[in-house]
Structure 1
Amino acid sequence: MDAAADLTGARYAALGTADPGQDGLIEIRAPGAPAAGAAMLTVPIHVQDEEFGTLHLAGKETFTTEDEQLLHVLAVQAGIAIGNARLYEAARQRERWIEGAAAVTTALLSDGPAADALTTVAERARILADASAGVILQPTEEGGMEIVTASAYDDPGDIVGTTIAPGSPVLEQLLGGEPVFVDDSATDPRMTTRVRHRFGPSMMLPLQAGGRLIGTLALPRRRGDRPYTSVERLLAVQFASQAALALVLADAQHSRELLAVFEDRDRIARDLHDLVVQRLFATGMMLESAQRRSGSEDVRETLGQAVDELQSTIQEVRTTIFALQQPPADAPTTFRGRVLRETAGAAAVLGFAPSTRFTGAVESRVPEQTADHLLTALRRALAAASRRSGVSRIEVTVDVTGTLPDGRDGVRLTVHDDGGTGDGGTGAGTGTTVNWQAPL
């Protein structure tokens, strides 16, 4: 503007730009205001065949043809400069999005849980899009979608769990693999979530790869923020496509790793069963034979104790074999698996793993409600043992072969440690024993 005013002798210069956020209204920037009725020269500025704005000159009695030609030249040069600046900014944006997609792919293909992978996508996309939140939605059993993870400047806790009801127009587009662009989430009738009033411009992008819809990436901005440009929309769609492919690859890699773990565990379990258990059993039989032939009472007693220790060891090895056959990352569903998870969890506090043994058909005989009560009692007993001094060994036994004092069949839990006597247990020799039982 200053150059145009100086070269033409105009006292006032103004630039009117089309504001996309105000439906094409003109925003005037000028150092002063011309008098009413003064001569004015106006020339449009075009950027890549698109009208960017208008250059206005005033404050001169008359404008000559040379002034008009000069202003046209300046407008063309301004259009070229603005176009180059736009291309440079678009290139920088594209570079940032490409680098962001590569970083997401690298992060997803590293070892980590699925929930962390979704959070990585949401957070990186939020930063790249300069959005107030990055949100991942996944389909629900009812046919809608639910926000399963969110990254936001503020606490995203109240956003997670928000749902899109089945049948929503937005949902139909997303399930069909189409992106949805919204100018104002608070007023757009297609937006029906309870948090829509917080946000303005928004993009909702399907995370789809190989015909499989993983979920939706939503990138809302605050109300009043600038809308997304066509370049930002294109780059975000490309990012969502690459992120979806990375999620699929990460899931496949995780499945392959789990399969390798399962195969390794199966091999170890077979070796334990075929070699170790059989050898221990054969050793026990030899000791029992020697016990019967021995003429010394002390030797027979010592051999009997050795046989008992071998039986306990065999039981522990079988428990280990069962634990190896459980999925390492999933919560156990069997009663044995749940008991072993409790004892394994206590190892972090105790500094050692408790010994665990099962007697009888515990899977088929212990009902769900009784199992829950037993696990609660086990958890309390282990916690109490961790607070006692001198505990270096804990033996956990679950027995369903005995009867209760009233004659009914029952399950008995015994937790014995070698530490000092504590509350809730009865000392038996050295250490503390906690007993719990319930009818079956």
Structure 2
Amino acid sequence: MTRHLSVREVLQVIVRSARRLLDARYAALGVPDDEGAFAEFVAEGISEEEWDAIGPMPRQHGMLGAMLREGAPVRLPDIRKDHRFEYWPRAHPVLKDFLGVPIRDGDQVLGIIFLSNKRSPGGFTEADQSLLTMFAAHAAIALTNARLYERGRELALVEERTRMARELHDAVTQKLFSLRLTAQAASSLVPRDPDRALLELQRVERLAGEALAELRAVIVELRPAELDRHGLAETLRKHVRLLDRLHPASFTFEETPVCELEPATEVAVLRVAQEALHNASRHSGARAVGVRLGCEGGRVVLEVRDDGAGFDVVAATGRGLGIASMEDRAHALGGSVHVRSDPGRGTLVRMEVPT
């Protein structure tokens, strides 16, 4: 559980592991929100078609609401006979024997995890309850860790946006304001004092050059510091090594001699690699992901290949996989990005950019 840093992934691993651990047909985990529903609700044992038929995400009522309020384990031979049970949607599977425990962080209930319909005869035992309670304690640590990681990333992004806004305001906006006033002055002087208007226009040209230089300086700050310290190949190698530690799949990096690259090219290649690796780690279900960086015929070449589920590239365009963004980065430098994939045959992302 602790290998994952995405809250959603942690929840899925918790539910999948608990179901397998206690040999249950169904398992689910709900993280409550402040509006009587669930911010997250993950289930195992139910197909996508069954989910669609069941309908909207459940509310905090019935047994789920009681577990959140009471914060205590519940073990029942038949949930339908308990007074806290209310109803299920028409398409909901029939649950019988039931075991649920809270996921706690001190006095706070982070969520509830429950299992139903144990496959082996006899229903859930006291030993099952003890095991799931211990499992929930580890789940609380993993869930808290993932939340802190995501919150840290959000705060870092907010801080960076605030810093960039301040830099743009202090450096560039003031310069552009002066440029506008000078241009207005020059316009008013043209009919009655052309020589002075010319001097003002020369000042406009100088201010515009200064504004452009300051804007470039701000943009340079967007360049990851790791690129200046380690270079593209080593930065990418460290990123791949981190993913290999955090994910079940095997992530490898292969480097052939790399050409000398402009700073903007290094940033673009790194961002495309990160986007492709993000897709492979989150969506492909791959066992192995390989990254290759090299130089061929005066062009830097990046390849990210996985042996995962693959997808229909045409149908996926515009659905949040970042393909358009990767293509835009390459095209801006006179290069290209090609994504080759088919369902069941893995995916290859290949970027080529002139040096």
Question: Could you state the TM-score of these two structures normalised by the residue count of structure 1?
Answer: 0.39
Larger radius of gyration: 1
Structure number with the bigger relative contact order (C-alpha 8 A, sep ≥ 6) is 2
Question: Could you state the TM-score of these two structures normalised by the residue count of structure 2?
Answer: 0.47
